[in-house]
């Protein structure tokens, strides 16, 4: 079943020409045309304090995508300035996820921590120019002095201490002479500025914490605002693409590169991706992991790339989704069904069709010879003629889905019912002649007859049946566990909570349903971790990469077959 292997990702697939140009492309084209830049340089700058999520995918596709489209380069830079929350595990997972998504940073793997010495020199330069000072106020006092949006801040009593004194104290901060939190280095800008980021922001703090790369070399660490823009400058990033919440930080970044006297990158802000029925905050995702509300960062319900990969989402469908939603200047929320639509569209082309029965109901074909087995031809993928066909065994005892039988069928129900004839997919017409109930009154077995003339699915006399159902041969089928997933949260915007509750109160209690004792066709014995198939009439499924074994296969439902999004679009168009 080599056709079951999941298609590998391809970089630089031709851009969908139906997607109109976005404003960042327009800016880049202008900068190239005017000669401002000969080549563009972008970067993806994750903080290694969690796993990447679908929001990061948007940033990755944009940064690597722009570089690829315009013949430039994109760096991977870890913004690792907060030793308390950062770990090597996160660095490794981030690299794995970017590669899986189909992008390559080649030898351009950088770390803000590689620049600690240079950043220290920049800070010294600012002090020497009278543009930064060591402040002895406590964190609480600094906050009190900061003012509000309507009131100006107050200047620290240490603001005008002599340059020599600040230089000396900053050196001794580095040398470890002072306690954590006892002093900070602040930029000297404007305590009355309407932009709070310009009210003498803290540039350095004292923190005795082990860093995942620099170990115990440093006991002072640059703040994010000190490190981020300067790292962009050191790497000569031409277009520093970031999300809207950094718009108010841009004047600070511009001030810093100007005063330090270094290369000025251009920062351009775009709207972050918000997706309905899930959350994108690493802090909240970590909370779900730590509280055991999900099975780790790669739980198939998580919006993380590792979770989506395990669930069976393809890298290509995520890239297409990111391209499709384009890049905007205003925040909005994208319906998660749109992402599922892209996944379905991709899997429809590549996933082999197989038969799997989630809620098995035994069927005995009374007039089928005992011990006889036929190999019936089944088409692997009607969307892909090259996918060929396979054999599925047919015998006297089968399983069909419990939902495909109704003792007292409602109107428009065309599947099995007493006296009713249906077609078995790739097989024969069968007619239900009787059924058996257990003591609890549940139907546990159907007795049917088959018409030997209908092999292949049509009757020589031209009679028609309305329903076609899937099945497996009881003797040949494999037992499997199937995990059905629904949205992680039961409301579209779990961030909105009332009355002191928190986002976790919106967790969907039915986000995962585990079905044991499912039966799947024997060709799946060869399926390997990560392989995706379509169980005909049921949905797309992926072999779980952690819990599945050849003896006890486990399938994750990737998406159902019903494309709600396509239906919405049709409705809107019609
Ligand atoms: P969080 O707030 O959850 O910690 P973050 O934005 O701080 O996330 P980073 O590791 O700093 O996480 O993000 C790396 C890059 O990805 C940044 O450039 C950031 O702007 C971008 N990014 C993060 N979330 C999104 C999102 N939802 N949509 C688009 N880009 C995003
Ligand atoms: Mg961040």
Q: Residue 3 falls within a domain, yes or no?
A: no
Of 4-8, 68-72, 170-174, 543-547, the least confident: 4-8
Task: Show the tokens assigned to 105.
Answer: 């940073």
Dist CA 189 CA 435 (whole Å): 84
- Cβ–ligand 1 distance for 83 under 6 Å, the answer no
Q: Please tell me which residue in 272, 362, 402, 447 is annotated as part of the active site.
A: 272
Q: Looking at ligand 1, which atom is closest to the CA of residue 273?
A: 28
At 156-169, the pLDDT tens digits run 999 999 999 999 99
Backbone angles phi, psi at 160, to 5 degrees: -105, 25
**How crowded is residue 419: how many other Cβ atoms within 10 Å of its Cβ?**
10
Dist CA 386 CA 380 (whole Å): 9
Dist CA 276 CA 297 (whole Å): 19
Give the domain-ending residue among 446, 470, 494.
470
Whether the per-residue pLDDT at 265 is higher than 70: the answer is yes
Taking CA 567 as the corner, what is the angle to CA 562 and CA 570, rounded to the nearest 5 degrees?
A: 150
- Residues 146, 196 contacting (CB under 8 angstroms): yes
- Residues 41, 235 contacting (CB under 8 angstroms): yes
Q: Residue 398 falls within a domain, yes or no?
A: yes
Task: Show the tokens assigned to 117.
Answer: 């010495």
Give the domain-ending residue among 172, 206, 224.
224
Q: Residue 465 falls within a domain, yes or no?
A: yes
Q: What mean pLDDT value characterizes the chain?
A: 94
CATH number of 432's domain: 2.40.240.10
Whether the per-residue pLDDT at 205 is higher than 70: the answer is yes
Please give the pLDDT value at position 2.
Answer: 38
Please give the pLDDT value at position 174.
Answer: 98
**Banded pLDDT at 470 (limits 50, 70, 90):** very high
CATH number of 142's domain: 3.90.800.10
Q: Give CA 462 to chain center in angstroms.
A: 50
Please give the pLDDT value at position 349.
Answer: 95
Taking CA 131 as the corner, what is the angle to CA 128 and CA 134, rounded to the nearest 5 degrees?
A: 80
Dist CA 309 CA 240 (whole Å): 28
Q: Residue 35 falls within a domain, yes or no?
A: no
Please give the pLDDT value at position 126.
Answer: 98
Give the domain-ending residue among 470, 494, 518.
470
Please give the pLDDT value at position 572.
Answer: 66
Average pLDDT rounded to a whole number, residues 322-332: 90
Whether the per-residue pLDDT at 213 is higher than 50: the answer is yes
**How crowded is residue 498: how many other Cβ atoms within 10 Å of its Cβ?**
6
49 CA distance to ligand 2 middle (Å):
9
**Banded pLDDT at 1 (limits 50, 70, 90):** very low
Q: How far is CA 528 from CA 16, 138, 547, in A?
A: 32, 58, 12
**How crowded is residue 387: how many other Cβ atoms within 10 Å of its Cβ?**
18
Please give the pLDDT value at position 564.
Answer: 66
- Residues 512, 301 contacting (CB under 8 angstroms): yes
Q: Looking at ligand 1, which atom is closest to the CA of residue 281?
A: 3
At 508-561, the pLDDT tens digits run 999 999 999 999 999 999 999 999 999 999 999 999 999 999 999 999 999 999
Please give the pLDDT value at position 146.
Answer: 96
Residue 437 catalytic? no
Average pLDDT rounded to a whole number, residues 21-31: 96
Q: Residue 248 falls within a domain, yes or no?
A: no
**Banded pLDDT at 185 (limits 50, 70, 90):** very high
DSSP string, 90-136: HHHHHHHHHHHHT---TT-EEEGGGGHHHHHHHHHHHHHTTSEEEE-
Residue 282 catalytic? yes
CA atoms within 13 A on the CB side of 10: 6
Please give the pLDDT value at position 147.
Answer: 95
Residue 47 catalytic? yes
- Beta-bridge partners for 512: 485
Q: How far is CA 536 from CA 146, 444, 472, 484, in A?
A: 63, 23, 12, 15
Tell which residue, 278, 326, 330, 325, has the closest CA to residue 299. 278
For residue 86, the ligand closest to its alpha carbon is 1
Residue of minimum CA distance from atom 2 in ligand 1: 281
CA atoms within 13 A on the CB side of 330: 1
pTM of this prediction?
0.93
Please give the pLDDT value at position 17.
Answer: 56
Q: Residue 461 falls within a domain, yes or no?
A: yes
Q: Please tell me which residue in 6, 43, 47, 188 is annotated as part of the active site.
A: 47
In terms of residue numbers, what domain contains 429?
A: 356-470
β-sheet with 73-78: strand ranges across = 41-44, 73-78, 109-111
Q: Looking at ligand 1, which atom is closest to the CA of residue 63?
A: 18
Number of domains, the chain: 2
213 CA distance to ligand 1 middle (Å):
22
Three-state secondary structure readout of 400-434: EEHHHECCCCCCCCCCECCCCEEEECCCCEEEEEE
**Banded pLDDT at 69 (limits 50, 70, 90):** very high
At 245-260, the pLDDT tens digits run 999 999 999 999 999 9
Q: Is residue 568 within a helix (H) or strand (E), and if so which, with residue range?
A: helix 564-573
Greater pLDDT, 16 or 376: 376
- Per the listing, tokens 């009757």 go with 459
Whether the per-residue pLDDT at 574 is higher than 70: the answer is no
55 CA distance to ligand 1 middle (Å):
7
Please give the pLDDT value at position 331.
Answer: 87
Please give the pLDDT value at position 8.
Answer: 37
Q: Residue 125 falls within a domain, yes or no?
A: yes
Q: Which of 55, 63, 223, 305 best tests ligand 1's pocket when mutated (most atoms within 8 Å of CB)? A: 55
Q: Residue 371 falls within a domain, yes or no?
A: yes
Please give the pLDDT value at position 3.
Answer: 39
């Amino acid at each position: 079943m080599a056709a079951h292997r999941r298609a590998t990702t391809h970089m630089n697939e031709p851009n969908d020409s139906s997607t109109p140009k976005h404003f960042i492309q327009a800016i880049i084209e202008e900068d190239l045309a005017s000669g401002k830049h000969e080549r563009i340089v972008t970067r993806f700058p994750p903080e290694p304090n969690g796993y990447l999520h679908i929001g990061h995918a948007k940033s990755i596709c944009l940064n690597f995508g722009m570089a690829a489209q315009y013949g430039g380069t994109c760096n991977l830079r870890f913004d690792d300035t907060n030793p308390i929350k950062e770990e090597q595990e996160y660095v490794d997972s981030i690299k794995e996820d970017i590669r899986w998504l189909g992008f390559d940073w080649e030898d351009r793997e950088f770390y803000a921590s590689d620049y600690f010495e240079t950043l220290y020199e920049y800070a010294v330069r600012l002090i020497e120019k009278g543009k930064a000072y060591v402040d002895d106020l406590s964190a609480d006092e600094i906050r009190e002095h900061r003012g509000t949006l309507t009131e100006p801040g107050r200047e620290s009593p240490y603001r005008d201490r002599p340059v020599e004194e600040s230089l000396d104290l900053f050196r001794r901060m580095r040398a470890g002479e002072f306690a954590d939190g006892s002093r900070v280095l602040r930029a000297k800008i404007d305590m009355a500025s309407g932009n709070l980021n310009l009210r003498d922001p803290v540039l350095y703090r004292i923190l005795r914490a082990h860093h995942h790369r620099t170990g115990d070399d440093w006991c002072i660490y640059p703040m994010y605002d000190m490190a981020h823009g300067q790292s962009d400058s050191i790497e000569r990033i031409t277009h520093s693409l970031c999300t809207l919440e950094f718009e108010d930080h841009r004047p600070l970044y511009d001030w810093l590169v100007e005063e330090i006297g270094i290369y000025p990158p251009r920062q351009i802000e775009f709207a972050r991706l918000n997706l309905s029925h899930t959350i994108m905050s690493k802090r909240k995702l970590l909370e779900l992991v730590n509280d055991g509300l999900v099975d780790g960062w790669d739980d198939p319900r998580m919006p993380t790339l590792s979770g989506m990969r395990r669930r069976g989402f393809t890298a290509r469908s995520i890239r297409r989704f990111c391209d499709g939603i384009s890049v905007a200047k205003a925040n909005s929320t994208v319906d998660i069904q749109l992402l599922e639509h892209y996944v379905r569209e991709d899997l429809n082309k590549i996933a082999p069709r197989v038969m799997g029965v989630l809620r098995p109901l035994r069927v005995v074909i009374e007039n089928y010879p005992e011990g006889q087995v036929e190999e019936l031809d089944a088409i692997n993928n009607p969307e892909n003629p090259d996918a060929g066909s396979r054999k599925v065994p047919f015998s006297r005892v089968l399983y069909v889905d419990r939902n495909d039988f109704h003792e007292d069928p409602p109107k428009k129900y065309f599947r099995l019912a007493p006296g009713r004839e249906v077609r078995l997919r790739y097989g024969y017409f069968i007619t239900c002649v009787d059924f058996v109930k257990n003591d609890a009154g549940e139907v546990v077995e159907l007795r049917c007859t088959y018409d030997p003339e209908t092999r292949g699915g049509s009757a020589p006399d031209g009679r028609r049946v309305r329903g076609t159902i899937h099945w497996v041969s009881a003797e040949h089928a494999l037992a499997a566990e199937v995990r059905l997933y629904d949205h992680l949260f039961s409301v579209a915007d779990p961030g909105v909570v009332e009355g002191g509750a928190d986002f976790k109160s919106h967790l969907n209690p039915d986000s995962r349903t585990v079905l044991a004792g499912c039966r799947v066709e024997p060709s799946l014995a060869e399926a390997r971790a990560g392989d995706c198939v379509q169980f005909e009439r049921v949905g797309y499924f992926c072999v779980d990469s952690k819990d599945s074994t050849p003896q006890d296969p486990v399938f994750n439902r990737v998406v159902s077959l019903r494309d709600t999004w396509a239906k919405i679009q049709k409705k809107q168009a019609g």
